[in-house]
Copies of this chain bind each other. A is one copy, B any other.
Amino acid sequence: MESLGVGILGFGTVGSGVYEIFKSNSQIIEKRAGKRIEVKKILDVRDFSGHEAESLITNNFDDILNDPSINVVAEMMGGVEPAFSYAKKALEAGKSVVTSNKALVADRGAELIKTAKDNNVNFMFEASCGGTIPIIRPLNTSLTADNIIKIEGILNGTTNYILTKMTAEGRSFAEVLKDAQKLGYAEADPTADVEGYDACRKIAILSSIAFGGTVDYNDILTEGITKITHEDIEYAFEMGCVIKLIASSEFKEGGVCAKVTPCVISRNHPLSSVNNAFNAIFVKGDMSGETMYYGSGAGKLPTAAAVVGDIIDEVRNMGSFIPTSWDIDKKISVLSRDMASIRGFVRVLINNKVEAEKSIDHIFGKVAFIDAGFENEIGFVSGVETESTMSDKLSSLGQCSGVEKIINMIRMEE
């Protein structure tokens, strides 16, 4: 039986998971791919002396690029460079590229798909969104009879783990983050996760496929979870709700409304029960209605399984470009945030309750007050406002008599 070679770029968590899966599941992989697949070389600058894969390690990308026995390059280095240059060179050399790197795909995906197409190979990235969850391929090959209307979900495992623990254990963001770092659920520099940048890139990628044109992640309203406190979570509890970091993207006339923000969602909302490092993605189509996809959003073997699934698909389709719904010649605008209306849960620090309530009534009209038992503050749910009206009203309220300052505003998801 013919054998095909894989080169791995980056022997970290996911990269070593890919190596392990090829070892432990070689039989079923060979059966499904119809060919033997072997890891031939691994690029990593670190020292792996004594590791069973030691003989495969190289610190020179050219060793992989120039190895004619390597047909597929699996990139798990993270970041845009040098991942982009390596991926581009590999594609130009007639090797398919498979990646779990959302930063790379969100930033240079269209260009790499074009390079793949020009060279009759493939650029695949199932593992870049939703970890192990099959979502890229279902969008590209199953939900094809639909005009997709909306995508919404929990796309970041780290923040979902942190919010789950904050909710269950009543601890602060900083405390839980520290534990998450110790346990390997959060990186030493957690910025990309906790500030929402990671989820932002993922919703941009999913939107590009679902709506059929490149969506620029730079234009997506992105807010992380660093300002979420245990008090916010207690208010949510009072309302029969939890707080989740929700990424959403909705197709409208002329573009998409897309955002990544913490949201107060009802405990009846199906995303409310997605906990720990799990992800879940809802897709709404005009024919299929709502479908949902759920699974591990992170983790060594689950993410690596998605990478290996892509490699198997590539091996089955060797020599032909697999169509994608992402039209690389088309750009889809992210619409002004004022195209979207929101209801906000607002917390206000006060020095005079009667005055503050009068001010709130004056500026926001009828609101629903929420009492979670905290002193010197008022919590309320606003009516529906555009993003900019909300922002203006909060500024005004901050200046009013009786009000010390606006503590927080969290969007409500209905």
Chain A interface residues toward B at CB < 8 A = 21, 25, 28-29, 31-34, 126, 132-134, 137-138, 141-147, 212, 270, 273, 280, 285-296, 299, 301-302, 304-306, 308-309, 312-313, 316, 323, 325, 327
Contact = CB atoms under 8 A, between A and B. Distances in A.
Contacts of A33: 144
Contacts of A325: 32
A26 to B, nearest CB: 11
Contacts of A296: 288-291
B273 A302 contact: no
A360 to B, nearest CB: 36
Nearest to A17: B287
A306 B142 CA distance: 7
A25 B147 contact: yes
A323 B32 CA distance: 8
Contact of A134 (B28, B142, B294): B142
Contacts of A299: 289
User: Which 4 A-B pairs have CB atoms at the shortest separation, nearest pair first?
Assistant: A134-B142, A145-B308, A291-B295, A292-B294
Contacts of A21: 145, 287
Contacts of A308: 144-145, 287
Contacts of A144: 28-29, 32-33, 308-309, 312-313
A25 B145 contact: yes
Nearest to A293: B293
Given A34-B323, A288-B302, A291-B293, A28 B147 contact: yes
B141 A313 contact: yes
B305 A288 contact: yes
Indicate the member of A21, A273, A323 with the most B CB atoms within 10 Å. A323
Contact of A312 (B28, B145, B289): B145
Given A137-B137, A137-B141, A141-B309, 9 more contacts: A25-B145, A28-B212, A32-B325, A137-B138, A138-B138, A142-B313, A145-B304, A289-B296, A293-B293
B289 A132 contact: yes
